Each structure stands twice: as C-alpha cells, then as structure tokens.
Amino acid sequence: MYRKITFVGLLLAFAVMAAGALARLQQTALLFDFITAQSAHFQAAIGLTAIAALLLILSWWQRHCHLPAMMGALLLSALMASQIALGIGLLKTPGQHLYQLGHLMTGMAVLWSIYWLHLRTAPGLTRLHKTNGPLWFSRFSIGLLLLQIVLGALVGIYQAGAACPDFPACNGQWLPDADYTGVINILRADGGDISIETLVALNWLHRAVALVCFVLFNGLMLVATAVKYPTAIRKAGLWLSFLLFVQVGLGIIGFKFAMPEWINIAHTLFAALLMLPLIAIGFYSRFGQPETDVVVSRPQPKPAIEIPSPIPTPIPAPIPAPTPKPEAKAVVTETTDIYVEPAPESLYLRLKSQLGRTRAGLGGILSTLQIGQKAVNKDLLEELEDGLLMADVGIDVTTKIINNLNQSLERHQLNDAAALRSALQTELLNIITPCNKPLVIPKKDGPFVILVVGVNGVGKTTTIGKLAKRLQAQGHSVMLAAGDTFRAAAVEQLQTWGERNNIQVVAQHTGADSASVIFDGIQSAQAKGIDVLIADTAGRLHTKDNLMEELKKVKRIMGKLDETAPHEVLLVLDAGTGQNALSQAKQFNEAVALTGLALTKLDGTAKGGVIFALAKQCGIPIRFIGVGEGIDDLQDFNAEAFVNALFIND
C-alpha cells in the first residue's frame, strides 16, 4: 500500500513539473491567473501535497523500513514546504531569478525523493554488506547532472540561448571570448545587468558540461549493464542509455529549430527523468535481496527413512518390465531410489574420520596442544604459525590468528595448552562462521537453476550427480543439463549419473554450443514443472579471458528465459590446490558473481586450511564440502562441526 502511494506521488510530481514548466515558458504575465482552482498545475500540486502528508502519516505505521520511510517522508514534506514558500515568493516578486531557480530545483528534488522512497520501501530489500555496483561512479554522475540542470535552468531564465545561435560552435568559436567569472555572480544581478559576454559564457558552459555528461553517462551505462551486476542495475543502465539518447536528441533539435516551446518543456522534463536511473544504480549498488532470503523449510527427511521396509514388495515388480536385462540393474535402481540423507550424528562421525589428513596438515601442532604437554609461550605460537601456513590457511589469516593469540598470551589469558586449543578453535570458528550458509531451494513457479562452474579436474560432474541425488531425497524434482560439451565423455558421465538416479538429462553431442544446451535445459525444465535444474559447464582455466567470457555468455543467455537465472552460481574447488583455490574463487567471482562454493577432496589433502582463507578473503557462502567418494560424503557445510572435527585427537 505504501509503495503504491509513492508511485501515485511520483506521477503527480511529474505532472506538477510539467505544468510548472509550461507556465514558465509561456511567461504568464500574472502568475496568479495561472494558479487557479481550475488549473491542472494547481490540482496536481494539491494532490501532491496530500500525498506527501499521507506518506508522512503512514510512515509511523510502516513496518518494513520504518526509519527510512520516516526520514524520507520528512524530507519530502520539507521539500514540499520549501517549494510552496518559493512559489509564494515568486508570485510576490516575479523578477527574482533566485526564486525561479529554487522553485524549479525543489520541484525536481520532490520527484527524486519520492522515487528514492519508492525504491527504499520495496519488500525484501536490505543493505548489502559489500557494495555490488558502480556506487561512486553513479554518485559522481548525479553531482554532474545536478550542475548541468542548474546551468540549463539559468540558460532558460536569462534567455541565454540567443547568445549562441549556432551549433555546435558558439559564435563561430569553439572556445568563445566570454566573461566566465561573471557566471558565478549571475544570480546576484538583475536581468538587465547581465552582459552579453556573461550570457555567452553561461551558454557555452551548459554545452561543455553536456558533452562531459554524455561521455560520462555512456561510460556508466556500459559499466552498469555488465553481467556481473544485479538485474536491477542492468535495467537502470539500459534506461539511462534510452533517456540520454532522447535528451541529446531534444537538445540538438532545439538548437536547429530555435528552441520551440514543446522542445524546451520536454528537454526540462527529461533532464529530471535522467536522474532516476542514476539514483537506481546507486541504490541497488547498496541494497538488494539478502543472501538468506530464499530460506524455505526443507521437506522432512523422516518419512523417507520409513520407506525401506515396504520396498521389497512394490519395487521389484515394475522394474524388470522396462529392462530386459538382468535383475542386477533392478537392484541398483532400488538402492538408489531409497537413498536417504544420513542422520547428523553419522555425518559428524564420517567428517571426523575423513578429515585426518587436514588435521595432519596443521603440522601435528593440534595434537600436541594437550593439557600438560607444552607450556604456552612465544615458541609454541611460532610452531602453531608454521603449522597453519603449511596447511595453506594463508598469510593474512594466519597473521590475524597469531596476533590475537599473542594478545591473549600477553594478557595472561592462555595459562595452559587447553586454553590455547580453545582460543585457536574459537578464532577459526569466528573466521568461517559467516560463510556457513547451506543451499536451500525455495518454492517458486519456475525451476531453481544452479550453474556449476570450475576448472578442469575438480570434480564438477561428480558433485552434480551427488547434489542431484541429495535434492531428490529432499523431495525436489531434478533435471540435469550437460553443458560440458568440450571434455570427452563428459556428457556420457552425466548421463550415467542421470540413469543411476532416474533423472532426465538434457544433452547434445560433444562439441555442441554449451549455452544452447543449457538454454534447452531451462526451456524443458519450465515446460515440465521441474523444481531444480543443475547445469554443468566445461572446465576452464580462470586465467584464460576468452574462456571466462564464454562463461559470461552462458549466464547472459540463461537470463533470456528467466531474468533471475541462474539463481545459484556454484564454484567447485579442489581443496588440494591450496592457495590457487583462492585465486580461482576471485577470478570466477569477478566473471559470474558467485553465490556459493563447494570444496571437494578434503579427505585426501593436507591443505584443507585454504577453506579459512576463502572464508576470510572472499566471503562467499560455502554450500558443500566433499570428504570422500561415497554419495554421503558430499555434505552441507557446517562450520561448527567442521572446526570441532579438526580438534579431535586421532
């Protein structure tokens, strides 16, 4: 309701501006005659005042964004009061150019503030922890556009257009001789005291700033429409391009035809509208959907646990019918069909047993930190530092941990090895907890699309197969898209996973266009009402720009069928690559804006400490970890269980 009122206010503010621009350009002799109860300007102004008052009242009961709604409504009311006061002053002293400029600018500010209020009160939006857009670029553009609007208003107020009748040069000169310093004091002078040199300077400055705006806004448009930014920013970039094209066209037409009234009005209004996409780009760079906004309760796994008892009776009968081959295949299908996610206790026991090498990768220092074995001193902390570095925790993270432990040691808070173990465990848990955000599939009309990316050999296809089975066990219908058309047998490998799990796989021949395969997959999933589509991609080196551009193309084409797709961009990393995994995460994140990580092969590496470097430096949610080859060994990442498993004595 509140946003609907702001939208009505937006339309009324634009109507008031249009009527006011018409009044100024018609140069009504008696402005009191124009402001009558029957005039459109007066009626729109009354309606806008009522809307501002209503928004101020309703903001007290606005639950979502209560404080921003209050502040925005108060600002809007202050702007409305200022515009009314300036309008009254303009009626009493029509020749006051400062009043004219202030009245025009406050009218535009009312429009812009209502638009900001409309954006800010959108449901589900929160302030992002990290800027996700060209924020400072848009802010600088807003400041420059404000300057250009002020210059344009002064050109209209002082009729400076006639001072430079030709275009694009001014009086035959690209840099005309003019009184540029006189522009600064132009508002203090009466209309008759303005020299022709000052008017020439004013006109030329308006043109020069317009050229800078044109170049700058085109640059902002190119940056804002990059695929790595949210859809809202990209749409604002496209609107900016369209409005800029119209505004430049109106300006050129106006100069060619001596600025007819309708051109002047349109030029003024589009200047105000041009500010809206700039505001939107800056806004959506700071605000967006929270990362946890897709949290929907998962289907209960308990009913699935009760399935095994009746299975021997119903399943054997239908299975042999479609397959003339042996009963062995039917047995395989039975076992996969009754897969249920293990209980948390068994997952934790498996995690403890499978992380032995990662524990060993900490240089054995964790096993030595037992009560009574070593005194806690600087030498022991140096040994611990070496162990962390050898486990590929990374220099930055290790330095932070050791500095904190040193401070605790100096404050005599580490009296024995047990206290040191507890402090280290807390430090590691604090680093990794912000990334403890398991993937949860929301209930939605179309398919939830997961795009899986990564370099060669990290286990993408295997991870997809295990993930598909997990989602199936949770009650979701799943489809796979074999987008890895480059690697030999990659399509066949994914089809094998599909047959094993009774999941349909959309595939083409090896060497086909990956984007085309995934496009077909989304279409098929939409038509069949599939809950989740998992799209595989070819492994690619993160250092190859052409391959990363191809990945951007895949993501861009997915957005043509569903502008919100992909809903999850999952990077699969081999934990055994150590610090190289950090480089991969950064490069892929810049290219396709990652939303989750899956770390595989943690059971077979002593470099599993890189997970802490990833959490600290990238901040990307860690969705899954792979701690073995079994289907149960792809687990939802649990920060507390992971860290606890590292501190278990073998």
Residue 487's nearest CA partner among 460, 463, 505 is: 460
Gyration radius (Cα) of the chain, Å: 32
Span 433-442, average pLDDT: 87
State residue 23's pLDDT score: 65
pLDDT at 14 > cutoff 80: yes
Taking residue 513's Cβ as centre, other Cβ atoms within 10 Å add up to 15
Contact 364, 387 (CB under 8 A): yes
CA distance 394 to 609: 8
Strands 126-127 and 478-481: unpaired
Span 99-111, average pLDDT: 84
pLDDT at 515 > cutoff 90: no
Query: To 5 degrees, how large is the angle CA 12–CA 14–CA 19?
Result: 95
Span 260-268, average pLDDT: 76
Span 22-38, average pLDDT: 49
pLDDT at 38 > cutoff 60: no
State residue 317's pLDDT score: 44
State residue 569's pLDDT score: 92
Taking residue 650's Cβ as centre, other Cβ atoms within 10 Å add up to 10
Residues 6 or more apart whose CB falls under 8 angstroms from that of 314 comprise: none
- Give whichever of 32-36, 243-247, 293-297, 491-495 has the largest mean pLDDT: 243-247
State residue 338's pLDDT score: 43
Query: To 5 degrees, how large is the angle CA 156–CA 160–CA 164?
Result: 130
CA distance 614 to 381: 23
pLDDT at 264 > cutoff 50: yes
CA distance 632 to 346: 10
Max CA separation in the chain (angstroms): 103
Strands 448-453 and 568-574: parallel
For residue 532, the cross-strand partners are 448, 478
Strands 126-127 and 504-506: unpaired
State residue 320's pLDDT score: 44
Span 35-43, average pLDDT: 58
- Give whichever of 280-294, 395-409, 426-440 has the largest mean pLDDT: 426-440
- Give whichever of 16-30, 261-275, 286-300, 400-414 has the largest mean pLDDT: 261-275
* Average pLDDT value for the chain: 76
Q: Among 45-54, 78-87, 411-420, which stretch is predicted with the lowest mean pLDDT?
A: 411-420
State residue 359's pLDDT score: 55
State residue 216's pLDDT score: 92
Amino acid identity, position 585:
A
State residue 411's pLDDT score: 67
Span 510-535, average pLDDT: 86
CA distance 506 to 524: 8
State residue 533's pLDDT score: 92
436: DSSP letter: B
State residue 635's pLDDT score: 83
Buried b (16+ CB within 10 A) or exposed e, 46-85: ebbbebbeebbeebeebeebeebbeebbebbbebbebbee
Span 7-21, average pLDDT: 81
pLDDT at 372 > cutoff 70: no
pLDDT band at 366 (very low <50, low <70, confident <90, very high): low
Span 380-386, average pLDDT: 78
Query: To 5 degrees, how large is the angle CA 268–CA 269–CA 271?
Result: 65
pLDDT at 511 > cutoff 80: no
The pLDDT tens digits of the residues spanning 312-341 come to 444 444 444 444 444 333 333 333 344 444
What order do you get walking across the sheet with 504-506 strand by strand? Answer: 504-506, 478-481, 532-535, 448-453, 568-574, 596-600, 622-626, 634-636
More confident residue, 285 or 389: 285
State residue 219's pLDDT score: 92
Residue 239's nearest CA partner among 211, 216, 220 is: 220
Span 266-277, average pLDDT: 87
State residue 479's pLDDT score: 92
pLDDT at 292 > cutoff 60: no
- Give whichever of 8-12, 121-125, 368-372, 379-383 has the largest mean pLDDT: 8-12
**What pTM value is reported for the model?**
0.47
The pLDDT tens digits of the residues spanning 608-617 come to 678 888 888 8
Alpha helices in 474-574 (DSSP H): 490-501, 514-528, 545-561
pLDDT at 367 > cutoff 60: no
Tell me the domains of the chain and their CATH numbers.
1-123 (1.20.120), 129-290 (no CATH), 311-340 (no CATH), 344-434 (1.20.120.140), 437-639 (3.40.50.300)
Contact 356, 650 (CB under 8 A): yes
- Give whichever of 104-118, 162-176, 600-614 has the largest mean pLDDT: 104-118
Q: Residue 14: phi, psi to the nearest 5?
A: -65, -40
CA 238 and chain centroid, separation: 17
The pLDDT tens digits of the residues spanning 203-253 come to 788 888 888 998 999 999 999 988 778 888 989 999 999 998 888 888 777
Buried b (16+ CB within 10 A) or exposed e, 276-295: bbbbbbbbbbebbeeeeebe
State residue 315's pLDDT score: 43
pLDDT at 146 > cutoff 80: yes
* Helix 545-561 with 580-592: angle, nearest 10 deg: 40
Residue 49's nearest CA partner among 20, 98, 88, 8 is: 8
Span 136-140, average pLDDT: 91
Contact 223, 282 (CB under 8 A): no
